[in-house]
Structure 1
Amino acid sequence: MYHYPINYDEPLFRPPSEARSLIIQVTLGCSWNKCSFCEMYTSKRFKARKEEDIFNDIDAFIPYQDSVRKVFLADGDPLVLSTERLLRILAKVKATFPNLQRISTYASPSNLARKSSEELKELYEAGLTLLYVGIESGDSKVLECIQKGETFETTIEGLNKSKAVGMNSSVMIINGVGGKLLTKQHAINSAKVLNETQPKYASTLVLTAHKGMAHFQDRYKGEFIELNQFELFKEMHLFMHHLDLEETIFRSDHACNSLVLKGVLGRDKDKMMSQIELAISHPELANLRMKCNSGY
């Protein structure tokens, strides 16, 4: 029987693109853990793991060190830790895996903004080159309603500060998270945030209430009326229309997305706009898939 070298403190999450990465838990849970839509770490109390335990997990993979190409630092937003501590962890990872190609982690804009440019540059030079950032929305009112702890301004500040030192970002917007009342400003301002930051990667998910819509509405700070499928497509069309990206790799292909969109923005913007328009006007021809309730 196969024995995995380490035991994770579950639940454990990672981005879809980190499926083949070695996951090392640097922190447990999420340092914020207040977002109305998110149930990922609600069963955990946030804490930083002991450095000795982290290093032991890394050492457990020494027998497989030549095959490790990517490492993902979990759980939610390890960048809340001091730069000195993170640098020691990054140094240990790089020293242990000689064929390492990249190190990545989840990050919040505010915690990026709290680091100085010099600190972020140190982290980048130590191997942290890719950040997964859940923007959720570029609209400050929507962000307030979902208790994200961010604003339009803080999101741009954090992303551009990390980009300036060389870090790439993979950002995510939630289609429908502002409901019917805020759908227009959510779409337009989310596009504006992406235009101001020009991330390497961008994706969208559809709002999924894992514990039911009533539970989400109780946590939402305001009135929330869920969008239907047609309205979700209309919001996506407005969002796409206002995007002005140069070479961002765009994906809307998670299991919760009924309409799969893939391409490079802006090269493929017209093609994706046409796909959305077809889904709006002739959904029976748009090769839609059933919406599901998978997590991310």
Structure 2
Amino acid sequence: MHFTGTVYRNPYWPTFPLLEITQGCTHNKCKFCTMYRDVPFRMSPIEHIEEDLQEIAAIKPDATTIQLLSANPLALSFDKLEPILVMINRYLPQMEYIYAATRVTDIRNKTVEELKKMRELGVKEISLGVESGDDWTLDRINKGYHASDIIEQCNKLHEAGIDFWMSFLNGVGGKEYSRDHAINSARIFSQCKPMLVGTGGLVLFPGTPLLEEAQRGEFTPLSEKEMLEELLLFVENLTCDCTFITHHTVSGKNLTGPDFLQRKDKIVTALKNEIEHGDMDMLAAIRRNKRTL
């Protein structure tokens, strides 16, 4: 297999097989991330993609799922993606689900009709790392789009019949904008109606501009208790029914699962209990031990 560097994949999707069709991230400017900092974006040679599919077909010819790599492989134009999707189905004829993480901006260069064709070829579920629905926060962390862009592109995905996840990055607005980040994100997420909402807690990794800004006093990180209070505010204002997942802010006990609206009161109660009685030193230690997003 032609894996050219560290492999990042969604652990909630089937983890085999994986197929690298791009390297790096087209944006590579988010202030909290170093995952692809030294990896220029490029498409994998089509010969490598075909060789990898031949290898997968030899090992698991009956594969029904596959996860595309790397950071945002759907950044490729439809004209470049379609032959790859057709090739996947040719080598793996029982293919049902082709998964990929991607950016909101990657949907912009595709029409609804092209997205429908992608769904027919197996792209039925994608993950959008939106991080926030608050315009000030999105600008602050240099995501490269605004809340109106999120809504517009998610509407296209709904029209095309492609399910999608949305991620909320707890704490990324800093102390001064925590409330706006939580409430405005919940409002935009609720309007977009994703099948799944995932939340993770901000970690200021070495080499990130956000850590450097924090060290200069230009960004004020939240304490562990403030992170939980922000997450609670986000949950209280989230009104779409979805699967809800949280990780590396709290343990996730009693929080993660389907049917969010049915479980919302229990999630709120669990968060309030964690805020009141949780071991903040332990949560801080868990955060300090994180090495990557």
Q: TM > 0.5 between the two?
A: yes
Closer/same/farther in 2, CA of residues 219 and 147 from structure 1, 3 Å limit: farther
* 1:134-145 superposed matches below 5 A: 134-145=129-140
User: Over aligned residue pairs, what C-alpha RMSD do you find?
Assistant: 2.3
In the TM superposition, residue 7 of structure 1 has moved relative to its aligned partner by 3.4
In the TM superposition, residue 173 of structure 1 has moved relative to its aligned partner by 0.7
Closer/same/farther in 2, CA of residues 84 and 213 from structure 1, 3 Å limit: closer
Residues 181-223 of structure 1 deviation map (CA, whole Å, 9 limit, x = unaligned)? 1100000011011111111111100001221677634499x93
Partner of 1:95: 90
Q: Does residue 257 of the first structure (1) align with residue 249 of the second (2)?
A: yes
Instruction: Report the residue type matching 1:66 in the other structure.
Output: P
In the TM superposition, residue 245 of structure 1 has moved relative to its aligned partner by 1.2
Runs of 4+ aligned structure 1 residues displaced above 4 Å come to: 212-215, 287-290
Residues 207-248 of structure 1 deviation map (CA, whole Å, 9 limit, x = unaligned)? 01221677634499x9310000110111011101111012x0
Structure 2, gaps ≥5 residues long:
none
Residues 108-157 of structure 1 deviation map (CA, whole Å, 9 limit, x = unaligned)? 11221221111111111111111111011110110101010011111111
Q: Does residue 108 of the first structure (1) align with residue 93 of the second (2)?
A: no
Residues 168-189 of structure 1 deviation map (CA, whole Å, 9 limit, x = unaligned)? 1111111000000110000001
* 1:158-197 superposed matches below 5 A: 158-197=153-192
Q: Does residue 282 of the first structure (1) align with residue 277 of the second (2)?
A: yes
In the TM superposition, residue 97 of structure 1 has moved relative to its aligned partner by 1.4
Return the TM-score normalized by structure 2. Answer: 0.91
2:22 match: secondary structure: strand
Partner of 1:295: 292
Structure 1, gaps ≥5 residues long:
1-5
2: CA distance, partners of 1:126 / 1:156: 24
In the TM superposition, residue 294 of structure 1 has moved relative to its aligned partner by 4.1
Aligned length: 287
Instruction: Report the residue type matching 1:48 in the other structure.
Output: M
Instruction: Report the residue type matching 2:175 in the other structure.
Output: K
In the TM superposition, residue 19 of structure 1 has moved relative to its aligned partner by 4.9
1:194 match: secondary structure: helix
Partner of 1:45: 40
Partner of 1:3: none
Contact 1:65 1:96 in 2 (8 A): no
In the TM superposition, residue 50 of structure 1 has moved relative to its aligned partner by 1.8
Contact 1:156 1:197 in 2 (8 A): yes
Of residues 86, 103, 127, the one that matches 1:132 is 127
Contact 1:104 1:128 in 2 (8 A): yes
2: CA distance, partners of 1:92 / 1:151: 35
Return the TM-score normalized by structure 1. Answer: 0.90
Q: Does residue 73 of the first structure (1) align with residue 98 of the second (2)?
A: no
Q: Does residue 239 of the first structure (1) align with residue 231 of the second (2)?
A: no
Of residues 198, 203, 212, the one that matches 1:203 is 198
Instruction: Report the residue type matching 1:276 in the other structure.
Output: L
Q: Does residue 8 of the first structure (1) align with residue 11 of the second (2)?
A: no
2: CA distance, partners of 1:138 / 1:251: 18
